[in-house]
Every structure is written in structure tokens, then in C-alpha cells.
Amino acid sequence: MRSFARGHLIIDDFEMAFRYRQGQSGFTIIEVLVASVLGLMILGIAIQSALSNQALFQTDVVRTRINQNLRSGLDIIGMNIRQAGESLPSNFPAIEIIDGGTENPDQLVLRRNLLDEVLNVCDEVEAGTSVASVYLAVDGAVSSGCMYANQGTNFQSWSNYRAAAGGSVRAYIFNPTTKNGEFFDYVGETDTGTDYFIIADDHTWSFDYAVGSGAVYILEEWRFSLENGYLRLIENGDTANPLNVVWGVTDFQVQVLLEGGAIVTQFLPTDNWSLIEALDITLSGEEAFKNQRIERTLNARFFPRNILSL
């Protein structure tokens, strides 16, 4: 009896221990699988969210880069617009806009005078010739603007300017009647005692400049245009060496706000720039990013402040 009781007690203890250990066991296989699936789903959502945020951040970086690029272009154009027309009369084409139409970019031409002394053309310059001497005073002249005695100050001023510039200067000859003009390299000057003339280096004249209807300036000209995705600047007619202002530009549009509220998209050399209220400049740009094109457009309005001096 004791042995049986003792054996029965041992069995009961073993059964209780088994049940206890069974009650304290880990997750079942199903629970583990469900937890794994949920964990993977949460991890996938987290990774997707991180990738999405990263893509948004990178897209914002591209947008910011395009905006900064376009803003730089607008700042450069605006600086030159503010300086345009300096020491120039209202009948001189200080501002010119070449309208590209609805599908093509525009061109903007800005000019300012660098030297107050303007020379009169005192001996005819004919188109197609390569005459090197442009006379600003001639012996026996009737017009006071071409008399030798009256042009000494202008002659000396030009000579000093050229010497300070290193011996060669870009000069601009202009016909106020036809509004035609062109740049040439001014490389020297001569005082014969009765005549003054400046020397043009290896230049064939494109237009006629008659006595009394021609003038010579030392100008600074900026010609902005769009080419192959670059906003380009040609200074003083030097088409062989264009300067790239900004890249990634897809469109360049210019509008002129005139006194009275009229808006025009073209401004000709014959137009009076003193009537301009402001110039609206619009630049558009784009950049490729992850198989998409990110596009931005910026607009700014600038006032040619030299109008106030007319």
C-alpha cells in the first residue's frame, strides 16, 4: 500500500510538473507566423515611408536648385536693366526687345554709355568700305561740331580712355536717322594739326554714316538670348565669345510695361525707351530627375532707373 501510494504520488507530481511546464510554454507556430507577417508589413511600410520621404527631399533639392539657378539669371538681367540707358538720349536704342513669338524665346538688348564725350562723324563712312579713319574734326568744317578748334577736349578724352583700357576699345558708331549701328575696334587716334580722327582696326562697315547723321560712342552692350539650354550673354557685339550666364533654361520671355498701362512684347530701336515703366522678365527651367522632368518658372519686374535722368 505504501509503495503504491508512493508511486501514485510520484505520478501526480510528474503530471502537475508537465502541466505547469506546458502552461509556461512559448508562442505557437501560428502566433509566430502572424507576428512575423505583421512585423514585415510594419517594416515594409516604414521603409516605403522612408524612401518616399527621401524622394520628396531629393525632389525639393532639385526644385530649389532650379529656382536658385533661375534667380541668379534674373538678378544678372535685372542689374543690367537698372544700368541701361546711362548717359544716353531718349532717341538712342538703349533697350531693345526682339520678340520670339509664342513658341520661341525672346532676346533682350541693353546699352549704356561709358564715356560722356560723343564724337560726331565729320567725313562720310560708306557701307561696304574698309576705311580705317573716322573723322571727328576736319579742316574747313562749317558745322561747329566738326571744327578742329572745338574737338580738342573730346579727342583727348577718347585718347586717355583708350590708353587706360590697354590700347584697344570697342566703339559703337550709330546713325540716329536710320537707327543702324555697329561695333568696331578703336585702336588709335591722330591729330594732324587741322584734323582729328580715330582709327578702326580691320573693319568693313555694314551701314552708311553721313556727315551730320552719325555719332560714335564708347558703349557697353549686353545681348541676352537663349541657346541650347543656356541663357547667354554677348558683350559689345563679340559673337565669337558668348558667355553662359545660367544653364537649364527652357524659355526666356520679356514684356514691356509702358506709361498708361500698355504691355508690349517687342521694343524696336525706333521706340522711345523713356516711356518704359518696367520690364517683366520670365525665366523657365527644368531638370531631369528619376525619369521625370521637374519644371519651374520665375518672374521679376525691373525698372530702368536711368529714365529718371532724362
Query: For residue 43, what pLDDT is reported?
Result: 79
Give the C-alpha separation, 217 to 205, whole Å. Answer: 16
Residues 6-58: tens digit of each pLDDT: 444 444 554 554 454 455 556 788 877 877 878 888 877 877 777 666 666 57
Residues 6+ apart with CB under 8 A from 290: 55, 58
Q: Tell me the pairing of strands 196-200 and 180-191.
A: antiparallel
User: Residue holding cell 543690367?
Assistant: 80
Query: For residue 189, what pLDDT is reported?
Result: 97
Give the C-alpha separation, 17 to 2, whole Å. Answer: 22
- The secondary element (H helix, E strand) that includes residue 248 is none
Compute the CA torsion angle 300, 303, 304, 307 (nearest 10 deg): 160
Local confidence pLDDT in tens for the 310 residues of the chain: 444 444 444 445 545 544 544 555 567 888 778 778 788 888 778 777 776 666 665 777 788 899 999 999 999 999 999 999 999 999 999 999 999 988 899 999 999 999 999 999 999 999 999 999 999 999 999 999 999 999 999 999 999 999 999 999 999 999 999 999 999 999 999 999 999 999 999 999 999 999 988 999 999 999 999 999 999 999 999 999 999 999 999 999 999 999 999 999 999 999 999 999 999 999 999 998 878 889 999 999 999 999 999 8
Query: For residue 53, what pLDDT is reported?
Result: 64
Q: How far is CA 54 from CA 47, 48, 172, 307, in A?
A: 10, 10, 55, 50
Query: For residue 289, what pLDDT is reported?
Result: 81
Query: For residue 20, what pLDDT is reported?
Result: 47
